[in-house]
Amino acid sequence: MKKTNQTQTDKNLQTAFAGESMANRKYLYFAKQAKRLGNLEIAKLFEDTANQETAHAFSHLELIYPPNELNVAKLLEIAIEGELYETNQMYPGFEKTAKLEGNLEAAIEFVEQAKESKEHASIFAQAAKRFNSLAKVEKLHADRYQKALNNLH
């Protein structure tokens, strides 16, 4: 969970999670390249290892976001926060640096990815809105049901 004062181990868990996640996507990409190069055996080795890296990443995530502290609203909130960070801070900064360094290809890619992150944030926000109104309706039903029960006694 997000704490104001993070310990070194909290930070290390984030780094370890990032590393295992990267290994997962990198090996899937390598599998794709190995296939393109005609080596199916090595492609399979990368795919199998990628799956293990996913399991490693999930183990770190369970410590970062303990399952018993999560609910659906919280999941959406964390996801929105991450996508907005990418949209508003990370990609604009990366784009600026890429332009300064004359790497237009990277600058264009960062702008495109920022747009995608914004889109993801808005999809999650819409889902959160739907979820909240649903939760309210359910609470209303529960309250009515409780009232009806109380009236029986």
Q: Which of 21, 120, 122, 123 binds Fe ion (CB under 5 A)?
A: 120
What are the angstrom distances between the C-alpha of 10 and each of 19, 75, 104, 138?
Answer: 14, 19, 36, 36
Round to whole Å and give the CA distance between 120 and 131.
Answer: 16
Residues in the interface with Fe ion (CB under 5 A) total 5
For residues 120 and 83, the answer to whether their CB atoms sit within 8 Å is yes
How far apart are CB 124 and Fe ion at their closest, in Å? 9
Regarding 56 and contact with Fe ion (CB under 5 A), the answer is yes
Smaller CB distance to Fe ion: residue 17 or 117? 117
For residues 68 and 28, the answer to whether their CB atoms sit within 8 Å is no
Smaller CB distance to Fe ion: residue 14 or 133? 14
How far apart are CB 56 and Fe ion at their closest, in Å? 4
Regarding 117 and contact with Fe ion (CB under 5 A), the answer is yes
Smaller CB distance to Fe ion: residue 17 or 43? 17
Smaller CB distance to Fe ion: residue 46 or 117? 117
For residues 85 and 77, the answer to whether their CB atoms sit within 8 Å is no
